[in-house]
Amino acid sequence: MDLHLNGDVAVVVGGARGLGLAIASAFVAEGAQVAILDRDPDGPAEARRLEEASGTRCVGLVVDATDFDAVRGAADDVRGRLGRCDHVVYAAGVGSGKFGFPFWELDPSDWDRVLRVNLVGAANIAHAFAPRMAEARTGTLLFVASVAGQMGSQTDPPYSASKAGLINFAQCAAKDLAPFGVRVNSLCPGMIKTALNRSVYEAWAGRQGRGKAGAGGPIPSYEEWAGEKVKALVPLGRWQTPEDVAAMAVFLASPAAGNVTGQTINVDGGYVMHW
């Protein structure tokens, strides 16, 4: 399916690995030029790999989204090297690294980094890129949130709260930018085998004690633990993949979604259903 993104310029923040890399790859497959912004030093190498494999111009910049001056400089750099910016996807995200049930098992200090990366970083990116999109009267912003931000997941309260805030900010931005023809949406993945998902298991398992679960049985492996969650919580009964999320991301950037803004789109196998 031709989504008519050929020649567009897409910026993917957090594009050096995981969901972000899958989204960057999907834009390249549609013929878009891509800039990967990531604090991971592998970002430029991934951009070169995508460019060599596709022949499409790609650049990689090492940028910490929580540093607004650096983000503003990166936005200027992208425009200088690729000429413009049509689409921005914020796919950076972190968890607390702890199992947060009940929430008072965490320390207040566990919240700061999660909120800064997941929410303040997204605001920094929007401040740096959105005004020029408004001037051009075209463009899209997409924030990768989470189903956890819609249902108060107790697994990691800082993560859930930050993603809820991100969804709300996306709605605010969508209202502000709609008069300029710029669309803003949130995309919420469900159960995906990512490093973040595994870290939740590791935090949970670490709390269970040495080799024994609370009920006295052996601690299940990650595959067993996660597989049971998928079967219990996901109506379609299967994992979602980074490619599933990436396919929705490029669709939302395309003219085919030209009347979609301010929405929270779930790619979750039916995990969250609003009645």
What is the rounded radius of gyration, in angstroms, for the C-alpha atoms of the chain? 19
Whether 23 contacts 248, CB under 8 Å: no
Q: Which residues, 6+ apart, have CB-to-CB distance to 265 below 8 Å?
A: 185, 186, 187, 188, 248, 252
* Angle (CA) 72 29 91, round 5°: 40
* Angle (CA) 207 164 152, round 5°: 45
What is residue 47's three-state secondary structure? Answer: helix
What is residue 170's three-state secondary structure? Answer: helix
- Please name the residue ranges forming H helices in 142-256: 148-151, 157-177, 195-207, 222-233, 242-253
Q: How far is CA 208 from CA 123, 131, 204, in A?
A: 37, 49, 7
Active site residues: 159
Question: In degrees to the nearest 10, what's the CA dihedral of 253, 257, 260, 263?
Answer: -60
Whether 40 contacts 23, CB under 8 Å: no
Side-chain half-sphere of 108: how many Cα atoms within 13 Å?
0
